[in-house]
Amino acid sequence: MEESMTALSVLLAVTVRWAVSLYPYSGARKPPMYGDYEAQRHWQEVTLNLPVKQWYFNSTDNDLLYWGLDYPPLTAYHSLLCGYLAHMINPDWVALNSSRGYESHHHKLFMRATVLVADLMVYIPAVLLYCSHLQETSSKRKVLSLFCILLYPGLILIDYGHFQYNSVSLGFALWGIIALSRGCEALGSLAFCLALNYKQMELYHSLPFFCFLLGKCIKQGIMGWGLLLLLKIGVTVMAAFSLCWIPFLTDIEQILQVLRRLFPVGRGLFEDKVANVWCSLSVVFKVKNVLSPETQLQLSLVCTVLAVLPSCIKLTARPTIRGFKLSLVNCALSFFLFSFQVHEKSILLVSLPACLLLSEVPLMATWFLLTSTFSMLPLLQKDGLVMAYVITTLIFLLVSAPFLSSHEKTSEDRLKVKPFCTFARRYIPWFRINESLVKLLFFSSVLVMAALTIAISTLAPPPTLPDLFPVLISGVSCLHFLMFFFYFNIVQLWDNVGETKKKKIS
């Protein structure tokens, strides 16, 4: 990969990120609760001024109903570090109780800078390393992958617009993926433990990591070298979790309270207009009203397990890096579509592994990334980020255009579904995937997303249907995600089928 193009891609990525940070943030000037910006600031206030053992407990100085800390310890330590820096610059930013809802130009500059620094330290270096080591890929394709991943609008809009630190947990997860692809199982396990201890939603990626490592151990012989590998991974995981949780391990009530804060099952099946099955289904069947909370939890658990099972079994039986990346998409998408208490921003956990497939299935990966950003449009509109959404999406389409214009012999080869199509033609001789039809569906999808973007930005919904556009956006996005769920599962489950048959014949 040419150094000049690499430098240009990073410079462009940083420029776009900082430009988006000039837009409003979540809850700007909206008392009494404000939004995620205030949540992150408040966590700095709490972790700086209170003892560690009070961080997750309700008290007069820590009202858990006002953005109580509900992320794992590594996020709390990050908040503490930012709190120290904030206190050094201006103590009023993190003064206990009196700083609630603090908003100023200089404070916004500080908060935005903390996101950028974290991004430059964790996520962007991981993307650079991943793209530079892409196998069987030309330099031009590596540069294109780098541009597309760094300019993916969903992550930029949420971290630099809405305001969060998703690039930290996703960055650690990516470091874990890179380490496993280089054969460093213990290092990969450590990196993923850091991701999981920064944000509990990294559980979306946990099953592929577990199944891949288990498959490697079984492949090496569970009573031989595989057992040693399993022990090494187990010790690494326990040591990483112990280090992160040291302040909370002295008291069982501390541990239980942190877990209660991390997994608040009392919040219900879903919130807002998230583009998953339960929210979309509620338009015609009020799941929350018909089923008890316990039944909802059990139903979501069963559906999620059934959805991830084929991918996990295939990955355990055949632990390849290609299968690992596909399984990350399939399992994360299964959790997003069917699990309990899903947020709109959780689609970013599917988007990371989808980014890693850009060089292999460019059309479908690009299509998914566009849809994932579109699915968060109601949230972005609430934050005043529609213009930023339009501009960053157009930039992403521009840089991904060379990927979309690449020519292959057949659409089945290009989409990596030829083994499945060959299998299907045994029973349905006329079964074919028409390349023109796929492209027509893609462009039709983009037009629908563009139309709904214009509608939610310019039209007033009918008084009787105030949530018309958010419901339409979540429904359309959910249909897309179901299509991608079946597509990526087909690609993974039929991966290497043709190669296996060739080996048998030879």
436 within some domain? yes
Q: Write down the residue that tokens 């496993």 correspond to.
A: 180
Q: What is the pLDDT of residues 167-223, one digit of tens each?
A: 999 999 999 999 999 999 999 999 999 999 999 999 999 999 999 999 999 999 888
Q: Residue 433's domain spans which residues?
A: 3-28+103-505
Burial 226-248 (b: 16+ CB within 10 A, else e): beebbeebeebbeebbeebbebb
Taking the CA atoms of 280, 283, 286 and 288 in sequence, report the sign of the dihedral they define: positive
Q: What is the count of structural domains for the chain?
A: 1
Residue 54 falls inside a structural domain: no
55 in Cβ contact with 47 (< 8 Å) = yes
Q: Is residue 392 part of a domain?
A: yes
Of the candidates 337, 283, 271, 278, the residue with the CA atom closest to the CA atom of residue 471: 283
Is the residue at 319 inside a domain?
yes
Q: Dump the DSSP string for 182-216.
A: TT-HHHHHHHHHHHHHH-GGGGGGHHHHHHHHHHH
Q: Residue 52 carries which DSSP code?
A: G
Q: Is residue 77 in a domain?
A: no
Above 50 in pLDDT, residue 505?
no
Q: How many helices (H) and strands (E) does the chain have?
A: 25, 0
Over the stretch 478-498, which tens digit does the pLDDT of each residue have? 999 999 999 999 999 998 765
pLDDT for the residue 139: 82
Give tens-digit pLDDT for 452-464. Answer: 999 999 999 999 9
Would you state the structure tokens that stand for residue 258, as one six-digit string?
A: 């942190």
- CB neighbourhood size of 303 (10 A): 17
Q: What is the pLDDT of residues 135-156, one digit of tens each?
A: 767 788 888 999 999 999 999 9
Using CA atoms, how far apart are residues 488 and 382, in angstroms rounded to an integer? Answer: 32
The answer to whether 324 and 208 are in contact (CB under 8 A) is yes
Inside any domain, residue 307: yes
Query: Can you tell me which residue has the tokens 């579904």?
Result: 417
As given in the structure block, the two tokens for residue 206 are 């946990």
- The predicted-structure confidence for 467-478, as pLDDT tens digits, reads as follows 999 999 999 999
Q: What is the mean pLDDT of residues 412-419?
A: 86
User: For the chain, what is the radius of gyration of the CA atoms?
Assistant: 23
Asked if residue 459 is part of any domain, the answer here is: yes
pTM across the whole model: 0.94
Tell me: the pLDDT tens digits for 40-87? 999 999 999 999 999 999 999 999 999 999 999 999 999 999 999 999
Angle at alpha carbon of residue 332, lines to 328 and 333, rounded to 5°:
115
Query: Residue 407 pLDDT > 60, yes or no?
Result: no
What the block records as the tokens of 333 is: 């998408």
Residue 56: inside a domain: no
- The residue among 504 and 418 whose pLDDT is bigger is 418
